[in-house]
Structure formats: structure tokens, C-alpha cells
Amino acid sequence: MVGRAVTRATLKLYNISSSDIGGYFYRVNDQSWEEETVTWNNAPAHDNTLVASLGAVTTGTWYTVDITPLITTDGTYSLRVSSTSSNGADYVSKEGANPPLLEIVVGNTSTATATETATATSTLLATDTPTATATPTLLATDTPTATATLTNTALPTATPTSTKTVTPTATKTATPTSTKTATPTPTKTFTPTATPTPQTYTMTYSYDGDGRLVKSVVNGIVTYYVGAHYEKTVQGSQQNERKYYFAGANRIAMRENGTLTWLLTDHLGSTSVTANASGNLVSSLRYTAFGEVRTASGTTATDYRYTGQRSEAEIGLYYYVARFYDPVLGRFISADSIVPEPYNPQDWDRYSYTLNDPVNHTDPTGHDTCDEDGNCYNNNGWYPAVGKHFSVTYTWKKMIKTNYGINMEKGDKEWDSPNLRLMYGSLGIVNTSTSGNLRAMAAGSTFKLMEHASGGGDYYGVTHTQRPTGIDFYTKGTQPLRQMNIYHEVGHLLDNVPGTWDVFTNAVKSQNNPSWVGSDQKINPEALLMSRVKDPNYPPVAARQTYSNFGPSEQWADAFANYVAGNINLASVIGTDMFNFVRSALAPFIGTP
């Protein structure tokens, strides 16, 4: 602000409580106060100089205060906000989601720049003046005829120069460019396409009783496989032997006819670099996400390449034990003989590879999708690459995390299988009701299971939303969760996710006494078809607690829960009113449900 005058200074505040008085803003001269020592009854004294004031304010609204009389030049300034009302306004502090904003508009007090600009203009114009003056001075004592001759001689010099420059440039540039570009292009494009000749391969594969490959015959070349460690290839009188070395489940080296080669892999087990016994680079490979070779250098001795699986180069496929995989298509060429997880929609695409996530997963058997930590999944649940299967609860948690991005964590007690199964099914219904957008709106949230101290039989006594990060679900002992409670609390969670807190609650507030809310601020029973409620433990409307100060928020969560459960009575006017409200409130965030 040095050298500039303040033309306007405004302070913007975000109000979070309604009040009939927004406050009086006084100047504070004492700048020695510290933020840590200020409380509501220990604030710096003002000097009775009123800078600005606000009238009645409402919740969730930005207000602008003109404090130009206070801020006039460089320096430190303080304001104190006071109110004569017992119900004073509350504004968000700098730590909140909508912190105060100070905007200062300044002007330039110097005119030196404008003066210099005008002077420079006069100087440029003066340059042309001597030309007119020089003419009569030089020619005053000489014969005008000689002067005219010299002038006319200079003019033809410029004329031929222009002609010579333009003519050859246009001729040389245009003629060869057009000829050379057009002629070879069609020749080079069409000639190779007719050249390739299809090649025919005869292949026979033999398997043992466990479905493992033990012998292959490709165009007369016979290869025998002894487990994953030995191979012997026979082609006429020539024989070639390979031995592979492993560290755990990872193939790390091979020895071919006595020559050792080190195999270095990426996080998915794909062979990326090979080195000789001395550690010198022999070859390198780079792959696309689904396994095509992107770049290659040197000669890679091993056929075990993308994700450590065997490449059948003659047919362009990879052998994944149970079936062959095409890296160009990014899909298996035959359907999976099992559906690993019926609750996961992606598993019903029986040709898909690694749930269409090849950057983070592999499929070493052709049946089981595995992550980079070695945890695999089949119809018995998630399990480590070696060792016994994980528990069923781990499976449900993994599925909820994978599909919806929600972390299922232990509260003061661990999640059990029945409640996790109920949670997974309920979230699937919510996801359908939100047009598949549940993950986009709830990813990163945490759901915890807590012990409920008392009976907790009422609708709101067993769940609580930790806005905006997650939900605590309370049960007593082995008491199961209630599906409607899940729908209700997810409704609260989504109310805080789309970018602004209480986005749906505020939509309820904008309604003018909606017909689906009774005089007690609870959902009108006539708006519901109670016989269609899917959860038999869902209590009647009359049993729910009074909404007190949180009416609109609870009305939204209750309406959302019944919308998801399909309980709204569309045969009634008030039921249709509630259904249309929920549908229109969700539409800006998920499209038409």
C-alpha cells in the first residue's frame, strides 16, 4: 500500500446464527492485545468510535461491513463487535470453513507516469520535422534541376529491388513443396497394407489333473513344464533347459543351459529388467496398463513377462493357468468358470481382467483378483497369497472399501459379520437410489460400531453422524443394526458432502410448511405406506423424539430414508410432495435419480 490511498475497505463475515442485531463495530486503539487472551468477557476496550453497524442477520449468509473510515493508510487496525441483544449474532472465525475476508481497494497517487507518456509522444513527432526544413536549406544556392535529378535517380533503385525479392521466392517455395509432398504419400500408405501374409500355427496344450500346464507343442517345438521351476524344450535334435529361482512367490532368476540371468520386476511382478550374472543390463521392457509392450530394448530371455505370466508370442496371448488373456483387448478370451463375488457387479462380467483395475491388481490363476500386497479374492473370501483365508468380516470390509470408499473401523467393539452384511446390502440400495454416486459423495468416510449404554430402542438412539467425516453406529450387545437407521444416517452424511454443510437441510428450510411435515415437525404418517417398510424393527413415527432445534435436518434424513426404502405413499398428495422434494433436492448432485 506504500504510495497508494485507500479508496474502500470492506470486511466480509459469514453468519451462523440468526439475530435481530448483527452488531456494532467500534475502533480499538490499543494494539497490544493477543489473540490467545481474548474471550467473550475479556476483550480489548474500544474508544466509542463507531465505524459501522449491521441490522438483523440470518443464518448461513455472508455480510459486508464498510470499514473505510477506519483504514486510511499503512498500519495495524483492530475492531470490536458488540451487541445490545441477548441473542447476539455469531460469525465464523478464521479457523472455520468460511473465514472472514478483508478487501482493500487502493488508488495510485502519482501522476509522473502520465507526464512522461505525453513528453515521449512529442519527441517522436519532432523526428519528421527536419525533413521538410532540410529541403529549402540545401537547395537554396544550387540549381533546382540538379536536385530534382538526384531525387529521381534514387527512386528507381528501390523499385527493382522489390521485384527481384518477391519473384524468385514465390517460385522456388511453391513448386517443389507441392510436388514432393503429394506424390509419395499414397504410395507409402497403401503398399504395406497388402503385404502381410497370415501365418498358421498348430498348438497343442496338455494339463495334469489339477489343471496345470505340463506340455505344449507349438509348430513342432515341444516344451515340458515341471511345476513352475523347470522347462525343457525339444526341437528336433536340439534341446534347451531352463531352471527358475524364486523368492517366496516371486520369480527372481533363471539359468538357461548354464547361463544365469537375473529377473527384476515391478510392483505387479512384471519382468521389467534382465541382467547377467555380473549385474550388467541385458534388456528392459515397459508395459501399458493392460499388458501390451510399450517399449523394449535388448533380448529378454524369459517368456514370463507381464505380471509374471507366460507369454505365448506366436498367438499374442498370455497363459493365466485357467484361461488365456489378450493384452490388446484387456480381457480374457474365455469366460470365468466361477463368479467370485455375486454381490460385486463387476464379477458378473466374466471376461473382465482384475475388476478392470490392472494398475493395482493381478490375476495369477485366471480366477482370483489379487492386490499388490498379495491379498487375493475368490468365492471363499479375501486371502493372502500364502496361508489361510482371511475372516468373513475382512471380506465384507474389503468389499465396502472397494465399492464405496468407506472405511469400516472398530469403535469400542468390532464389526461382526451380520451387521457388515446388512451394511453392504444397505449401501448398495443407497447407491442405486443416488444413481451410482454414493462413492463420489461418501468416499473417505469412516463408519464405527459402538456399544450403546442403554436400551436405545428409539429411531435416533442408536446412530450418530460425526459430520462431515463419518457415522457412529450404536448397538447393545449383539443387537443388530436397523436398516432404516443406516439410510437415515447416510442421509445426514450426504447432507455435508456435496461441498456445503446442510445443503439438503437448507432445501427443507426453503419449503413453506411442506404438507409431509406435521405440526410436531415429524414426518406425517400419512405420507408413508407403513406396510411396505422393509425393516420390521423400524419404530412408528409417533415414537421418535421431538426435533427441537434440528427439525429441518432430521426431516431431510427421515425423508431420504423413506425415499431409499421405497416407503413413500405415492397414492397420496403429501406422499407425492415428499417424494418430489427428495428427488429434486438430489438432482443437482447426481442427475435425475
Check the CA dihedral 329-335-339-343 and report its sign. Answer: positive
pLDDT at residue 173 is higher than 90? no
pLDDT at residue 287 is higher than 90? yes
Task: Give 262's strand partners.
Answer: 253, 275
The pLDDT value recorded for residue 384 is: 52
The pLDDT value recorded for residue 178 is: 47
The pLDDT value recorded for residue 471 is: 86
pLDDT at residue 57 is higher than 80? yes
- Say how many C-beta atoms besides its own lie within 10 A of residue 381's C-beta: 19
DSSP state letters, 217-250: EETTEEEEEETTTEEEEEETTEEEEEEEEEETTE
The pLDDT value recorded for residue 275 is: 97
The pLDDT value recorded for residue 146 is: 38
In sequence order, what are the residues at sequence separation of 6 or more whose Cβ sits closer than 8 angstroms to the Cβ of residue 265? 250, 251, 271, 272, 308
Please identify which residue in the block is written with the cell numbers 475382512: 394
Nine-digit cell at 433? 437410489
User: Mean pLDDT across the stretch 166-181?
Assistant: 47
C-alpha dist (Å) from residue 384 to 180, 354, 369, 394, 396: 63, 16, 11, 12, 16
What is the Cα–Cα distance from 273 to 282, expressed in whole angstroms?
A: 8
The two beta strands, 78-82 and 23-28, are: antiparallel
User: Mean pLDDT across the stretch 34-55?
Assistant: 79
pLDDT at residue 171 is higher than 50? no
The pLDDT value recorded for residue 308 is: 93
* Cα-based torsion angle of the residue sequence 522, 526, 531, 534 in order, rounded to the nearest 10 degrees: -40
Nine-digit cell at 364? 495369477
Helix (H, G, I), strand (E, B) or coil at 408: strand
Check the CA dihedral 41-42-43-47 and report its sign. Answer: positive
pLDDT at residue 538 is higher than 50? no
The pLDDT value recorded for residue 455 is: 46
Task: Give 19's strand partners.
Answer: 57
How would residue 141 be classed by pLDDT, with cut points 50, 70 and 90? very low
How would residue 184 be classed by pLDDT, with cut points 50, 70 and 90? low
Angle ∠(260,264,270) on CA atoms, nearest 5:
120
Among residues 20, 12, 23, 34, which one has the least CA distance to residue 92?
Answer: 12
Q: DSSP class of residue 356?
A: G
The pLDDT value recorded for residue 371 is: 76
Q: Looking at this protein, which amino acid is placed at residue 250?
A: N
- Say how many C-beta atoms besides its own lie within 10 A of residue 22's C-beta: 24
DSSP state letters, 501-520: TTHHHHHHHTSSS-TTB-TT
Q: Looking at this protein, which amino acid is placed at residue 314?
A: E
In sequence order, what are the residues at sequence separation of 6 or more whose Cβ sits closer than 8 angstroms to the Cβ of residue 578? 514, 516, 523, 527, 559, 562, 563, 568
What is the Cα–Cα distance from 28 to 309, expressed in whole angstroms?
A: 75
User: Mean pLDDT across the stretch 212-218?
Assistant: 90
Nine-digit cell at 515? 404438507
Q: Assess contact for 269 and 226: CB atoms under 8 A.
A: no
Helix (H, G, I), strand (E, B) or coil at 586: helix
In sequence order, what are the residues at sequence separation of 6 or more whose Cβ sits closer than 8 angstroms to the Cβ of residue 293? 285, 286, 287, 305
Which tens digit of pLDDT belongs to each residue from 475-524?
A: 877 778 888 888 888 988 888 765 667 788 888 887 766 777 766 667 77
Q: Looking at this protein, which amino acid is placed at residue 173?
A: T
DSSP state letters, 449-473: EEE-SS---STTSSEEEETTTEEEE
User: Mean pLDDT across the stretch 71-89?
Assistant: 79
Task: Give 27's strand partners.
Answer: 79
What is the Cα–Cα distance from 511 to 517, expressed in whole angstroms?
A: 10
Which tens digit of pLDDT belongs to each residue from 343-389?
A: 677 778 999 999 899 998 898 888 888 876 667 765 445 555 544 34
Q: Assess contact for 349 and 360: CB atoms under 8 A.
A: no
What is the Cα–Cα distance from 6 to 116, expressed in whole angstroms?
A: 25
Domain ranges for the chain: 4-108, 391-593
More confident residue, 324 or 378: 324
User: Mean pLDDT across the stretch 38-51?
Assistant: 79
272-290: b (≥16 Cβ within 10 Å) or e: bbbbeeeeeeebbbebeeb
The two beta strands, 369-371 and 375-378, are: antiparallel
What is the Cα–Cα distance from 538 to 459, expressed in whole angstroms?
A: 7
C-alpha dist (Å) from residue 587 to 81, 498, 499, 582, 590: 40, 12, 15, 9, 5
Q: DSSP class of residue 345?
A: G
Among residues 51, 55, 54, 5, which one has the least CA distance to residue 28?
Answer: 51
Answer left, alpha or beta for residue 174, where phi above 0 means left and psi between -120 and 50 means alpha. Answer: alpha
How would residue 558 be classed by pLDDT, with cut points 50, 70 and 90? confident
pLDDT at residue 417 is higher than 50? yes
The pLDDT value recorded for residue 467 is: 54
Q: DSSP class of residue 331?
A: E
**CATH match for 391-593 among 2.30.30, 3.40.390, 3.30.390, 3.40.50:** 3.40.390
Report the range of poorest mean pLDDT among 27-41, 269-283, 344-358: 27-41
How would residue 280 be classed by pLDDT, with cut points 50, 70 and 90? very high
Q: Assess contact for 78 and 45: CB atoms under 8 A.
A: no
pLDDT at residue 253 is higher than 80? yes
The pLDDT value recorded for residue 255 is: 97
Ranges 148-157, 386-395, 445-454, 538-547, most confident? 445-454
